[in-house]
Homo-oligomer: A and B are copies of this chain.
Amino acid sequence: MTIPDITLIQVCDFVGTLAFAISGIRLASAKKFDLFGAYVVGVTTAIGGGTMRDLILGVTPFWMTNSFYLICSAIALVWVIVFRKLLVRQNNTWFLFDTIGLALFTVTGIEKTLAIPPADGGQFPFWAAIIMGTFTGAGGGVLRDVLINEVPLIFRKEIYALACVIGGVGYYIASICGLPQIPCALICGLTVIATRVLAVKFKLGLPIIKGE
């Protein structure tokens, strides 16, 4: 097995962005959005988390100088229109792509946060990097649900954002064990994927908080 090269990361970025955008477009279509609205919701789902991360880190949002993400979202829009009736049958594929995206975006968020110093110098603490990784992975879905005027799904169902947190803890443990960056990133990403897959397979969820 070779170390994953830039091409594999790009493939993961592509299928992840596609899956995120498609989840937004599908939910927008259920709300009778027009094509423009559906595209905006798709884009927001795909890039919203990373945008919040970049604003908090004080850097230019990643998609502002790279049209890749807007083009991916356009492909997602065409895909939903063309394969509308087949989407349900593709659910397992989209779940897989979405999970790959979640894993990659979590790793990206953690590494970008550790690479960018706070305004007053030094480095962000690792827990802040884990939060930024979780933002990058799960924030777009929250913005999507705000835009379509629904209670954010990830706050009520399944383990989703928590998979990012667990993956981030995996990254932290691997790094304090002295592992170099690429194995840390792999451990993080695989932990996110394993957590998510196990949670869905065994219908694991967190307890609901009881009201008064």
Is there contact, CB below 8 Å, between A155 and B36? yes
Interface digits, A122-151 against B, CB 8 Å rule (1 contact, 0 not)? 001101100000000000001000111111
Can you tell how many copies of this chain the complex includes? 3
Is there contact, CB below 8 Å, between A150 and B149? yes
A118 and B29 contact, Cβ closer than 8 Å, known pairs A34-B206, A147-B155: no
A residues 17-50 in Cβ contact with B at 8 Å: 25-26, 28-38, 40-41
Among A5-13, A79-87, A93-101, the one that faces the other chain is A79-87
Residues of A that sit less than 8 Å from B by CB: 25-26, 28-38, 40-41, 51, 55-61, 64-65, 67, 70, 80-81, 84-85, 87-88, 118-120, 124-125, 127-128, 142, 146-152, 154-157, 159, 161-162, 205-212
The 8 A-B pairs with the shortest beta carbon distances in the complex, nearest first, are A37-B155, A34-B206, A29-B209, A29-B211, A38-B209, A149-B151, A35-B206, A33-B155
